[in-house]
Amino acid sequence: MKSSIIDVPRRHDQEDLFGIKVYQDALIRYVKLTDTPITIALQGEWGSGKTSLMNLLKYNLCDVEGASFYPIWINTWQFSLMKTPHQAIMSILEGIINQIGSLHPSENKWDESKKKIGGLFKKMAKVGAKAAVGTIGMEGDLVDEFFEDEGAAQSDISQLKEEITNLINDALEKDSTKQGVTFYIDDLDRIDPPVAVEILELLKNIFDLEKCVFILAIDYDVVIKGLKPKFGELTDQNEREFRSFFDKIIQLPFSMPVASYNVDTFLVDALEKIEFFTKEELADAELAESLSEIARLSVGCNPRSLKRLTNTLSLISIINSSLQNEETATDKKYKVINFALVCMQIAYPYIYNQLTEEPDFKNWNEKVASKLKLRPLSDEERESLDSAEEFDEDWEKVVFRMCQKETYLSNRAFQVSGLLNKIATNIGNEANLGEVVSSVIELSAVTNLKAFDSPKKVTKFNRDTNNYRFNGVEYSKKTLLVRDILRYYFAQNPSATLEMLHGDVCFARNMEPYFMSEEQFNYYETNDPKKISFFTRPSEEDWVKAADCRVAVTSNWPTTIQGKPAAFSKFLDVAKSKLGYKIESC
């Protein structure tokens, strides 16, 4: 068993769990056949797998035997740490040129080139000093100000490009198997956006060289933010200016195919490694598809989010095991609901936090909406929502209104509703919905990231670590204890029926979700499986025999919910006070 799935870029020797090989191979072939110079942008949000893909491209283009390219790899974020914008740009430029120099066959010639390049760097350093004391314009002008006038700029850029070109050509001449140099520029989306844009401009101005292929890992949104000092806020009127800048730098944009990632394969592999589900459970294609659907409705296909999801589940599983809560830890239905709630926690923390306060979400109503100060719906909005399956019920309309609190949520309102309905379907019995959500959510709350502007409410876990003693037998599993209490009851009352049991141990308005006749169980199993979501098909030894039927017992026995007595506590109280049974915790 592994306790975590580490969040590091994939190596070339690791399995392709997301199914991106077809894209990887196409890019490799494209680079081998392309004319140069060219710049390729691997576009995608943070954590979408850009660095992993660059690792694979570098290995296949540069590291395999007989590879056609030299590699230059620059992590821009590492070069920019603890540096001013100017220092960061200079550091990155120096890092690229030093790696080019390391390819050079003649140390003397490299030393000679370093002197020429060093002279140009001194000019740049002078401009950087001016920038530091505020004598030149905003950071967006740094590249333009590297040289004192336009004529000198063109001359110095030409000299720098000539030196770099000579270094590259000499390196290629020494090895006839090489056709060029591939530059891998990583983590541009982790540095300050205006600095990222300056780096892009610098690369375009200086490294626009034959036999050079630049592969950048970048998020287009970072470019948008970095261009605001130049063009202002992005609008419909100036969108072309933003796009034109990007197109000037990038000749081939490649969007990470996140929507095509094989989430099923990754999830099954990760969940098996952390042993959240058993190998036999994960062999069930229906379960695997259900988990993938839950993930798509929430965390999506982003590899980083999926790794955080599995790490959270791993910790919850370990805590469950430490608390000796075997029934919850091993019940597949509980685990699916746990999985869905952790997905909710990661993807939609605002909705998750409301669930911790009001777990019976199908009873969300105007009172809840008023408490959260949600804006009312207009008549047009209400009519439109009534026609949508995801929002035709009153509680779903409250969900829609919750989603309007955040831009991200408003764009994902249908997915939020779909995820909540998926949770409700897995729980099945609406009478138990709030109880089940509350009992499951309390454990996942330990991994909830939440900013508190008021004193933090202390979470009271419903996990009962006690064993119980009844008639001289010690029980660690609550379901087994409940069954034996019922067997004792029927032994003491041979003529007692299931209806009499419901009356004698009544602790809820409807007792059927806890004790059900075999006939009713069989009917639901065939016609409405949701009604028995927290029952398992009893073996011959598991049935409890009443005078009129055999009785199935639920496996859902929470002790407390949000600090208040729940089903198990209430049942024990009735058994002790009304039936007079001696049951002790130990």
- Residue 106 is part of a domain; what is its CATH number? 3.40.50
Q: DSSP label at 264? A: H
Tally: H helices and E strands in the chain: 27, 13
Alpha helix (H) residue ranges in 59-213: 76-80, 85-102, 107-132, 150-173, 193-206
Burial of 431 (0-12, 13-18, 19+ CB in 10 A): middle
Instruction: Tell me: do 419 and 535 sit in the same domain.
Output: no
Instruction: Tell me: do 310 and 185 sit in the same domain.
Output: no
Q: DSSP label at 102? A: H
Tens digits of residue pLDDT in 535-554: 888 888 899 999 999 999 98
Low-confidence ranges of the chain (pLDDT < 50): 1, 3-8, 127-150, 153, 324, 451-462
Alpha helix (H) residue ranges in 210-261: 220-226, 228-231, 239-249
- Answer whether residue 309 is part of any domain: yes
Q: What is the pLDDT of residue 273?
A: 83
- Answer whether residue 29 is part of any domain: no
Q: What is the pLDDT of residue 8?
A: 45
Instruction: Tell me: do 218 and 276 sit in the same domain.
Output: no
Amino acid at 28: I
- The values of phi and psi at residue 458, to 5°, are -75, 125
Pull the structure tokens for residue 570: 């209430």
422 and 340 Cβ atoms separated by less than 8 Å: yes
Q: Is 475 helix (H, G, I), strand (E, B) or coil?
A: strand
Instruction: Tell me: do 292 and 381 sit in the same domain.
Output: yes
Instruction: Tell me: do 401 and 442 sit in the same domain.
Output: yes
- Answer whether residue 3 is part of any domain: no
Pull the structure tokens for residue 408: 């991200």
Instruction: Tell me: do 438 and 533 sit in the same domain.
Output: no
* Cα distance between residue 131 and residue 144, in whole Å: 12
Instruction: Tell me: do 198 and 296 sit in the same domain.
Output: no
What DSSP line would sit under 507-523, residue for residue? Answer: -SS--TTTEEEHHHHHH
- Answer whether residue 11 is part of any domain: no
Q: DSSP label at 463? A: -
* Cα distance between residue 493 and residue 547, in whole Å: 9
Of 165, 38, 39, 174, nearest to 103 by C-alpha is 174
Please count the structural domains in the chain.
3
- Domain span holding position 573: 468-585
- Answer whether residue 66 is part of any domain: yes
- Answer whether residue 361 is part of any domain: yes
User: Sheet holding 550-553: strands in order across?
Assistant: 515-517, 550-553, 544-545
Record the pTM. Answer: 0.58
Of 507, 583, 584, 498, nearest to 549 by C-alpha is 498
Pull the structure tokens for residue 471: 């008639």
- Answer whether residue 350 is part of any domain: yes
- Answer whether residue 426 is part of any domain: yes
* Cα distance between residue 399 and residue 401, in whole Å: 5
